[in-house]
Amino acid sequence: MHAQALDNLRFIRRTMESAAAFTAVPGKGGVIMGITALAAAFLASRQMDTANWLAVWVVEAVIAIAIGFVSARLKLRSMASSAIGGPALKFLLALLPSIFIGALLTMILFRNGLSGELPALWLLVYGTAVLSGGALSVRVVPVMGLCFLVLGTAAVFAPPGWGNWFLAAGFGAVQIVFGAVIARRFGG
């Protein structure tokens, strides 16, 4: 009887974990990512060469990924949750394909001299990734994804010279605002 009760409890726990919303989106990490993006926008705007401009943003992407990973890991640890289990894995699997496609399209556009289109692409791809991953998270996360999609759409129709402003608005301001909301309402 005792063994069957423990098996039932394990089953219920696994079921609840797989159905739960992913709440380990790092709010404080999002704020830090936004701050580093504002610094990157400033540095990128000072570059005279397109390759250097792209290098600044690629370094920023690597830094943001590291910040996001570490801060999500810390938040999961504080929640006594597994980083690989249930909702976290689903969140990553929903997020990563868009990011991968964005990286490939970045190489194609840069190779073909279309670097002015990169800010719109990055905002749209990140918005799509956050919206997809956010479908498995708390409501504020997909709303953040929609904000990136709106900025990316506006960037499509704006002059290419406005690209850094759009990147600063999205990866800087939007990330800071939503990171603060997530940190306040959902911890960490």
Contacts of 105 (CB under 8 A, 6+ apart): 121, 125
**Highest-scoring range by mean pLDDT, 62-66, 85-89, 183-187:** 62-66
Residue 22 confidence class, pLDDT cut points 50, 70, 90? low
pLDDT digits (tens, 9 = 90+) for 70-121: 887 787 777 665 545 566 777 788 888 999 999 999 999 999 999 999 999 9
* 18 vs 38, residue with greater confidence: 38
More confident residue, 94 or 56: 56
Q: pLDDT tens across 148-170, in order? A: 999 999 999 999 899 999 999 99
Task: Report residue 9's pLDDT band, with 50, 70 and 90 as the boundaries.
Answer: low
Higher pLDDT, 129 or 4: 129
**What pLDDT, on a 0 to 100 scale, did the predictor assign at position 18?**
45
Is residue 16 over pLDDT 60?
A: no
Q: Which of 148, 149, 144 is nearest to 186 (CA)?
A: 144
- What value does the mean pLDDT of the chain take? 85
The pLDDT value recorded for residue 115 is 94
Domain ranges within the chain, ordered by starting residue: 24-186
What pLDDT score was predicted for residue 123? 98
List Cβ<8 Å contacts ≥24 apart for 152-159: 152/120, 152/121, 152/122, 152/123, 152/124, 152/125, 152/126, 152/127, 153/120, 153/124, 155/119, 155/120, 155/123, 156/120, 156/124
Going by pLDDT thresholds of 50, 70 and 90, the confidence category of residue 132 is confident
Q: Identify the top-confidence range among 3-7, 17-21, 41-45.
A: 41-45
